[in-house]
Structure 1
């Protein structure tokens, strides 16, 4: 089986060449480099406004003001708290969403003060995704400050809850509401040499075993142990053969339970992550794993002849659901992104899959990809996270040229992004 490769047709290359030849577009691309320090200043400012899981309000408020400062006067927060601002086109073109997520993985109270050493900046969240937000703001400035008139509309969005148990809640709300969106570019991670061709789907569960508990000697063999039941479940799942084509994975990432070494555990739980880039395969594998866990509970009770209140009980709670989706290798967003890299003489080193805000539009059948914000990141999701700003202006250059290719520019090019059928 040959590795997938992106496609950029001669027609799309001609569109990009026409854009590059336009003086206003050329000026906007150069502006990314000229405003390199301004982009960094935005990134530092946003990083130092904490946005812990489910508490992104303060950073979101600051982002609304930055949208307005950079020429998007209609910027506002929607009902869930996403920050949204629209640059209107001619009224006849497609609508492209450009998004970056507001939230971080770091808990409330984390020190987010940025420290600088040369071109390297250190702080929790300095890259993921303050870099994406700052890159998006630079694309916004390229459009508004050069008075570019797109054919299609561009909707800039700062989304909530992309990380962890946020479960893409902002992007889900964005696309669930009645809308006219036809495609999306997410700006996430730093790597400008990467294009995401598809979205890894992910379903997450909290697996809970409960029992009466009791003394480890006096109740041994009489009362079931929640820990023993959970351990049996994990072992049985671990013995399953995970599908390889399409690939599926599973992982028990968190486990806790019990109260004392000499007490039969009354409660034990684990958090389970199941992934695949193919939605039907993901659904089937989830069904198989959950059935195995239910069987493990039955087997644990049979092992000790436990019944009634002495038996272990199973509770399964779903805590995450990120849908899978895939672009064709010649999808409009892939052609535009790959063509932008080629035109800007930036190598494509990774054409791969991941789970980002792009999962949601792909699930709805809309073309979507994720582009890097530029620079080089290290230790994401760790307190030691860092970001090297060297050549970081390339990220906004790629995102801007990709966006213009998709939505078109009045008097220069027509859009290559298809208009979807909206109910």
Structure 2
């Protein structure tokens, strides 16, 4: 863990969690997560084998909606964009907590997905990211509803769309953009229960396009500009920039394509650019420097060959992603609840860090939010060789269950730790 940032859980919060643990229904809910461990695995396998490629998550969303309703969550429905939403109401006048996991995967349409098993290890694209989160969320719902736990605040269970890649958090953005009463969020993403996210890495993504007339590599040499040459100059110019290290910024050209033939001047070339920082002002400032360098590269390419008018290379920049940065205070309610829960369950905290998940969105709106692990062990995420180890995976829903109850409170047992936002 970073020495600069350490999670805080006050004595008052520890005592609040101890009161919850003394409640028989809460203890039974924790035990239920272990008792229904195999059901959780079965649902995870079921969801994994339902395709959810980028921008086409409809089939899995329908299956998840039915499973969420079966778990006892009332009025499960899909919003305009397709997020699956169900609200478990509290006794009234309490805060509203969103707890969610994302439905989509990174795998393109038509990818064969069939889960195989070796002992307690399961293999399939997307078996962990984020089918494990969805299955953990379902178990949290069952542990609350089947134990008859009545909360003070409301809990909104959500399966979000478009968390991955160029989905650009579109589901969570739509969720928080409309008028709502949400006061905070817990996302369930990644298997690791030993990790709490204190904040979000911001990310802006662009498609950098160079265009020209193109032409024969001999006859039009030096007369018509090459889009590939212009793009190569832009990548080199960005690569030579001095990159801020405090706060840390990064860049990456992750996809490059263009041209038609070895003996043809390229009429089009493009690259997808990812720029990140843990600090929003630093991210915005570095983006300006990068885009300025790319424009300068285009001008330099044309000046190099004295190209003008239709013979020049032209630059088009399209933004294809915008994930805002944000951070909690180390004593924020969600951090205290999550850290206190780990302590109460004797689960060591090994990582207190930042990442990009659905939590980016509520943090952007100034709401407390963090991401919890779904349980188990994962490897090779976003690859065809992805696998998930189920041993002790019940700890994931246990952590999310107790953290959520700490935040919204249990009627007659505890008051909510989550603050209601002024509206």
Contact 2:74 2:88 in 1 (8 A): no
Question: Alpha-carbon deviation of 1:91?
Answer: 1.1
How far residue 2 of structure 1 moved from its aligned partner, in angstroms, is: 3.7
Distance in 1, matches of 2:144 and 2:76, equals: 15
Which secondary structure does the structure 1 equivalent of 2:150 belong to?
coil
1:142 is displaced (CA, Å) by: 0.6
Aligned residue in 2 for 1:369: 370
Structure 1 position 7 matched with structure 2 position 8:
yes
Match of 1:132 in 2: 133
Query: Is the 8 Å Cα contact of residues 337 and 406 (structure 2) preserved in structure 1?
Result: yes
Deviation at 1:73, TM superposition (A): 2.4
CA distance in 1, matches of 2:77, 2:30: 27
**For 1:421 and 1:242, how far apart are their aligned partners in 2?**
39
Determine the structure 1 residue equivalent to 2:88: 87
Secondary structure of 2:299 counterpart: helix
Instruction: Name 1:188's counterpart in structure 2.
Output: 189
**TM-aligned CA deviation for residue 380 of structure 1:** 0.3
Distance apart, 1:67 and its partner CA: 1.3
Counterpart Cα distance in 1 of 2:160 and 2:13: 30
Cα distance in 2 between the residues matched to 1:326 and 1:136 = 24
> Which residue does 2:112 correspond to in 1?
111
Q: How does 1:20-419 map to 2 (within 5 A)?
A: 20-419=21-420
* Distance in structure 2 (CA, Å) of the matches to 1:415 and 1:304: 67
Q: Secondary structure at the match of 1:377?
A: strand
Distance in 2, matches of 1:108 and 1:347, equals 39
Deviations 1:91-115 (A, max 9, x none): 1110000000000001111111110
State the TM-score, normalized to the length of structure 1: 0.99
Partners of 2:27 and 2:17 lie apart in 1 by 11
2:69–2:76 Cα contact (<8 Å) kept = yes
CA drift of 1:3 comes to 2.6
* DSSP-derived class of the 2:97 partner: strand
State how far apart, in whole Å, the 2-side matches of 1:241 and 1:132 are.
38
Deviation at 1:421, TM superposition (A): 1.8
Distance across 1 between alignment mates of 2:13 and 2:74: 32
Preserved CA contact (<8 Å) 2:106 2:382: yes
Residue 70 (structure 1) shift: 1.0
Give the Cα separation in 1 of the matches to 2:23 and 2:358. Answer: 32
Distance in 2 (alpha carbons) for counterparts of 1:404 and 1:64: 22
Query: What are the Cα deviations for residues 206-243 of structure 1, in whole angstroms up to 9, with x where unaligned?
Result: 00001111111111111110000000000000000111
Q: CA deviation digits over 1:261-304, x for unaligned, max 9?
A: 11111100000000011111111111110011001100110111
Q: Distance in 2 between matches of 1:25 and 1:270?
A: 52
- Partner SS for 1:207: strand
Q: Classify the secondary structure of the residue corresponding to 1:54.
A: coil
Partners of 1:132 and 1:143 in 2: CA distance: 17
SS in 2 for 1:154: strand
Aligned mates of 1:201, 1:306 — CA distance in 2:
38
Q: Name the CA shift for 1:345/1:380 in 2 (closer, same or farther; >3 Å).
A: same
Mark the runs of 5 or more structure 2 residues left unpaired by the alignment: none
Over the aligned positions, Cα root-mean-square deviation in angstroms equals 0.7
